[in-house]
Amino acid sequence: MQERADFDYEALWQTARQGALSKHGVARSEADTQNPAYQEALREAFGFFLLTCYAASIRESRATLWCTLEGLDAARLVAMEKLKLHPHNARSMVEQDLIWALQSELREFTLPEGALNACRQTLNDAGLSECLADAPNA
């Protein structure tokens, strides 16, 4: 994926991380790298982060003036084509559905260097470097 200068991977990672920590009931100040809830939250955050970066890469190559594929819509388009879904069904897919449906594509996706730099330290500190182990350029 060509890195766009205006794509803020750091902000995306922080948003994904904070949302997952909140969902798992872990305060940001409780960054206990050995806490299973903290580690699970980071795994979930990474899945969302990876999916969003993937969607951005698809948008770069497939968006048009009349179909801009904002947010996760680009990932929904790929899922629609792959699973032969009606557009309405594809549009209703939530993040976890997309992660499952696009597992093969996400495993093959090369995260841009800026994306890796945004999440690598947090994942490594929590002992979750295996999240990055499947990334082709990690």
DSSP for 39-53 reads: HHHHHHHHHHHHHHH
Q: Which pTM was predicted? A: 0.89
Question: Is 69 strand, coil or helix?
Answer: coil
Per-residue pLDDT of the chain (138 residues; tens, 9 = 90+): 344 556 899 999 999 999 999 998 887 766 777 788 999 999 999 999 999 999 999 999 999 999 999 999 999 999 999 999 999 999 999 999 999 999 999 999 999 999 999 999 999 998 898 888 766 555
pLDDT given at position 79? 97
Q: Which helix H or strand E contains 79, and what residues bound it? A: helix 73-83
State phi, psi for 126 to the nearest 5 degrees: -90, 5
pLDDT given at position 36? 87
The domains of the chain are located at: 9-133
